[in-house]
Amino acid sequence: MCTRAVDSILKLNRTGDLQIEPLQGPGVAERLRIPPSQLLESNWWLDTSGAVYAGAEATNAAVSAAIGTTLPLKLYRIPGIRSLQDAVYRWVAGHRYRFPGKTPYCESHPTAC
């Protein structure tokens, strides 16, 4: 599920500025400024200003960076939208291993991990 989501965001990459790396990569927890034990609890996004986002907000921030507009992140910040997206994200994340998907990123890209 996670690999498929990353691939989908990369397909939207109009800016060419996205830098995606696996959470299992060296130094990721330090760059995100979170404990290593929290890495796999969510998806994460570190933007160019140094702000760190998690979960549905991270997905919106990544899509915003990919398409070159802050519109997805602005829409996410609308109270009702935020609550809905957060709930959907938590449900999908909690059931991610039940979804058909691709080979896990680290298996398909071992040198990146």
Q: What is the mean pLDDT of the chain?
A: 87
Share of the chain above pLDDT 90, in %: 56
44 — pLDDT class (breaks 50, 70, 90): very high
Percent of the chain at pLDDT exceeding 70: 86
Mean pLDDT of 65-72: 94
Residue 82 and residue 62: Cα distance in Å, rounded?
16
Q: Tell me, what's the pLDDT at 51?
A: 94
- Over residues 82-100, mean pLDDT: 88
C-alpha angle 12-93-87 in degrees, rounded to nearest 5:
90
Q: What is the DSSP string of 59-96?
A: HHHHHHHHHT-SHHHHHHTSHHHHHHHHHHHHHHHHTG
Which pLDDT value is given to residue 26?
87
Q: If DSSP codes are grouped into helix, strand and coil, which group holds residue 10? A: helix
pLDDT at site 108: 66
3-state secondary structure of 46: strand
Separation CA 48–CA 3 (nearest Å): 23
- Residue spans per domain, the chain: 3-108
